[in-house]
Chain A
């Protein structure tokens, strides 16, 4: 079946602009995570959705970052007034109804470059 998809695959923007990154999770997966991966680093947690609600947004670096999942499926990560330090790969992962051994399946990521 189809895996997690993310669009766009690459995004180049100018400092100060607004960007939206989209994640399509695996069908039926209720849990959705956003991570950010800087060059040479491992992914870092940003925000977690269970269904439509953001259950944990403690990883968002500041209030320029916001994410939504209005219908409990597709999610959009929104970044306002982008800064050069926001350049990174933004990864989305989804997992099925939580259980003792749930697995997070990752998408290929969106590579964001802020000039």
Chain B
């Protein structure tokens, strides 16, 4: 099935550094989401974006919904050891009057933070 293009695949950073990752798609979405997955767990929602151009923050996390509706980025500032995990972008296409809000995911970015 379709998967979004997410980069980088992995990152090794020092505690305190900022991190940026992005996601692109060949098709448009009207919602972009960023999830984090820890080992042995399901994905947990970090940030949701609902309008093209929207910039949203959640603590040290900031994400933007690209103007073309085909891309999004996630920034993490001042990283800490507990930021370690796999980050996934996901696109969602909501049709007016539709009901299936299935998610299309990227392949993930593995983040390692050295204390």
Given contacts A55-B99, A106-B42, contact A41 B3 (CB under 8 A): yes
Q: Which residue of B6, B90, B94, B102 contacts A48 across the interface (Cβ within 8 Å)? A: B102
| B44 contacts A106, C-beta separation under 8 Å | yes
| B100 contacts A56, C-beta separation under 8 Å | yes
Q: Interface on chain B toward A: helix, strand, loop, or mixed SS?
A: loop
Most buried by B among A42, A93, A102, A104: A42
| A42 contacts B42, C-beta separation under 8 Å | no
| A33 contacts B107, C-beta separation under 8 Å | no
**Chain A residues whose C-beta falls within 8 Å of the C-beta of B103 in the assembled complex:** 33, 35, 43, 45, 104
| A108 contacts B102, C-beta separation under 8 Å | no
A40-B108, A104-B103 given; name 8 further pairs at CB < 8 Å.
A33-B102, A42-B4, A42-B88, A42-B105, A56-B102, A91-B43, A106-B43, A109-B42
**Chain A residues whose C-beta falls within 8 Å of the C-beta of B94 in the assembled complex:** 100
Question: A residues within 8 Å of B by Cβ?
Answer: 4, 31, 33, 35, 40-45, 48, 50, 55-56, 59, 91, 93, 95, 98, 100-109
CB<8 Å pairs between A and B, sample of 27: A31-B99, A33-B103, A35-B103, A41-B3, A41-B107, A42-B6, A42-B90, A42-B106, A43-B103, A44-B3, A45-B1, A45-B103, A48-B102, A50-B99, A59-B102, A91-B42, A91-B43, A93-B42, A102-B101, A103-B45, A103-B48, A104-B45, A105-B45, A106-B42, A106-B44, A107-B42, A109-B41
**Chain A residues whose C-beta falls within 8 Å of the C-beta of B42 in the assembled complex:** 4, 91, 93, 106-109
Q: Which residue of A31, A40, A43 contacts B43 across the interface (Cβ within 8 Å)? A: A43
Say yes or no for B104: interface residue by CB 8 A criterion.
yes
**Chain B residues whose C-beta falls within 8 Å of the C-beta of A43 in the assembled complex:** 43, 88, 103, 105
Say yes or no for B40: interface residue by CB 8 A criterion.
yes
| B23-46 to A contact mask, C-beta < 8 Å, 1/0 | 000000000000000001111110
